[in-house]
Amino acid sequence: MGKYGRLTKQAPPPKRPWVIHPIWQGFGCILLVVGPFTAFAAAHLLVEMDMKRGWFRVPPEMTGPVTLPGTIHFLEWSYRIADDLAISHFYADLVVTVLLVLLVFALVMIIYSIIYGFLGPRRYGPLDSPPIRRSQIRRRNK
- Tell me the per-residue pLDDT of 16-50, one tens digit each, with 9 for 90 and over: 887 878 888 888 888 889 989 999 999 999 999 99
Report the domain count for the chain.
1
Task: Evaluate whether residue 50 is within a structural domain.
Answer: yes
Q: 10 Å Cβ neighbour count for 105? A: 14
Residue-number span of the structural domain to which 83 is assigned: 22-118
Task: Evaluate whether residue 138 is within a structural domain.
Answer: no
Q: Where are the alpha helices (DSSP H) in 7-137?
A: 22-53, 60-63, 90-119
- Tell me the per-residue pLDDT of 92-140, one tens digit each, with 9 for 90 and over: 999 999 999 999 989 989 998 999 888 877 777 778 887 788 777 666 6
Integer Cα distance of 18 and 3 in angstroms? 39
Task: Evaluate whether residue 3 is within a structural domain.
Answer: no
Task: Evaluate whether residue 64 is within a structural domain.
Answer: yes
Would the pTM count as exceeding 0.85? no
